[in-house]
Amino acid sequence: MTKKQIIRINDIKIGYAGSRTDHDSEALQTAGRLVFRKTGIRPGNLRIAKKSIDARRVNGKRNITFVYSVSAEVEGLPDGFSDPGIKVCADAELKFTMGSARIEQRPVIVGFGPAGMFCAYVLAKYGYEPLVLERGDAIGDRIRKVDRFVKDGILDEQSNVQFGAGGAGTFSDGKLNTRINDPLAGFVLQTLRTFGAPEDILYKAKPHVGTDVLRNVVMNADREITRLGGEIRYRTCVTHVGNRSVKCGGSEIPYMALVLAVGHSARDTYGDLMGSGFVIEPKPFSVGVRIEHLQEDIDKSMFGDFAGDRELGHAEYQLSMRKGNRGCYSFCMCPGGVVMPSSSENGEIVTNGMSFRARDGKNANAALCVSVHPDDYGDTPEGAIGFQKRLERAAFTAGGGGFKAPVQTVGDFMRTGNSPPYSGFTKIMPTYRDGSVEISDLTKLMPDFVTEMLREGIADFGRKIRGFDDPAAPLTGFETRTSSPVRILRNGDCKAVGKTGVYPCGEGAGYAGGIVSAAVDGIRVAMKIMEEYSPVRV
């Protein structure tokens, strides 16, 4: 009996012919014909595995094309089959061997962002009954705290956009694109789909969930982990990581396996770890501003006369440039979204982007970030965190308090001289806290190298997307939490260097960047624990 295999047919290009054309069906038919021509096998169960839009100009003309990958089942594929356009897919299931050592305390996971969530889910699924300690609130209470902060400027330092069920990604666009090429990414997407994410995350090249849908996904993950025997304790902040136990307020919890999935904003935890002998090193990160445009202007610039067609959706962009060893790039672009107040400490301003599933807001926004190297801040973990905090505090002061953010138009920002004029807002209104902003001179708040690279980046991106350098576009300061500024060193089995039973994990530990890669790292750590210990229950 011949074995069934899953293959993927890549780089199938279908020219856009208007919203009434069934481009997906055409792609499936093209893929089927291609497989039969190259193998003599008629494939079955064809489905879209990935779909992206190429809207680049060719020879000065706009040429919108859908680029597909199609998966299919085949029987009888010869051993050693090789073709550049057809790939035999690896199995995305978890593969590991359970250990035999007895685990006397259930695994403890600090943090319930993507890394902690997926680590907990996998451990619970296989009978390890993990205990999750999350400093913030469960999703319902967390939403209320964030809404209060946006409306009234009242911040809960333990439960906010950075901390609480789902982590920082819960109040973002919910992007699931990743640059890692790991079969576990497929497991992550399938699991998110099971928890209630839309089906199109399984095939879109730039999948997004939307913050409104992602909240339900997080709630369903919580329920499933609990049903499988895990426990999640909210409003439980770990104040000290000791040898074989952690302190949470007045209580102490023992551990044999401790997963530190604390997120990139847990500065108090970083301080405790540095004082407890953990090996922590500084790493490169980025800082910048949020730029806003009218979404219809971005759509017209990228799609031309096809702008507004439902099948194309809203246009997205990803831009970058380099000068020497420093880069400027767009990050976390949110079509039809808002600039989100994302502070986790009083006296500091942090911004991020957020959009709902429909992406139906008036503005597009994205971070414009400049790379920061260790020698920019003294090459120490304390220097890295201090660099972020100085920008955040400067923004708070410039905003005049009350979590008003400093904002400057592109026209003013690009104008050189000691005293650029302060223009009001015209066609593009800032969305941060419904316009709770203060017009400021951002150039006086940032290091010179950040200002210079942002100016060069805006000019360069304006040549790539018409209107990107619109003088009326608002710039809101500051985006500082693009990634963790430090890395908690671990060895090949994912254990912290020089420590017993501690597993630094995810974005906060410096081993991921985004929802999917953090979730993958959480799964990887869970498998390391399972390979050492037998489950609490079968």
- Which residue from 236, 227, 198, 21 is spatially nearest to 112, judged by alpha carbons? 236
For 272-319, strand residue ranges (E) read 280-282, 285-294
Mean pLDDT over all residues of the chain? 93
Residue whose tokens read 């978890």: 94
What average pLDDT does this structure show over 183-205? Answer: 91
Structural domain containing residue 329 = 284-479
Residue 181 predicted with pLDDT over 80? no
Residues 415 and 445 in one domain: yes
pLDDT value at residue 94: 81
In a domain, 391, yes or no: yes
pLDDT value at residue 506: 97
In a domain, 185, yes or no: yes
Least confident of 223-237, 339-353, 407-421, 517-531: 407-421
Domain termination residue (choose one: 479, 503, 522):
479
What average pLDDT does this structure show over 337-352? Answer: 97
pLDDT value at residue 79: 78
Residue 81 predicted with pLDDT over 90? no
Residues 146 and 262 in one domain: yes
In a domain, 218, yes or no: yes
In a domain, 330, yes or no: yes
Residues 288 and 429 in one domain: yes
Q: Which residues pair with 504 in a beta bridge?
A: 260
Residue 254 predicted with pLDDT over 60? yes
What domain count does the chain have?
3
What average pLDDT does this structure show over 190-208? Answer: 91
In a domain, 13, yes or no: yes
* DSSP result, 94-144: -------B--SS--EEE--SHHHHHHHHHHHHTT---EEE-SS--HHHHHH
Residues 468 and 502 in one domain: no
Residues 166 and 312 in one domain: no
pTM (two decimals): 0.92
As a whole number of angstroms, the distance between CA 149 and CA 155 comes to 5
Residues 238 and 315 in one domain: no
In a domain, 94, yes or no: no
pLDDT value at residue 417: 67
- Which residue from 332, 458, 446, 467 is spatially nearest to 395, judged by alpha carbons? 446
Per residue in 200-227, pLDDT (tens digit) is 998 888 888 999 999 999 999 999 999 9
Residues 241 and 296 in one domain: no
Residue 536 predicted with pLDDT over 90? no
Q: Residues 256, 502: contact at Cβ < 8 Å?
A: no
Residues 296 and 440 in one domain: yes
In a domain, 439, yes or no: yes
Residues 268 and 189 in one domain: yes
pLDDT value at residue 91: 64
As a whole number of angstroms, the distance between CA 433 and CA 36 comes to 56
CA-CA distances (angstroms) from residue 517 to 118, 125, 188, 202, 524? 11, 20, 9, 15, 10
pLDDT value at residue 419: 61
Domain termination residue (choose one: 88, 120, 153):
88
Residues 526 and 455 in one domain: no
Per-residue pLDDT band at 423 (split at 50, 70, 90): confident
What average pLDDT does this structure show over 75-93? Answer: 81
Per residue in 460-501, pLDDT (tens digit) is 999 999 999 999 999 999 999 999 999 999 999 999 999 999
Residues 190 and 302 in one domain: no
Residues 21 and 134 in one domain: no
Dihedral sign for Cα 143, 148, 149, 150, please: positive
Per residue in 135-153, pLDDT (tens digit) is 999 999 999 999 999 999 9
Q: Are strands 280-282 and 258-260 parallel, antiparallel or unpaired?
A: unpaired
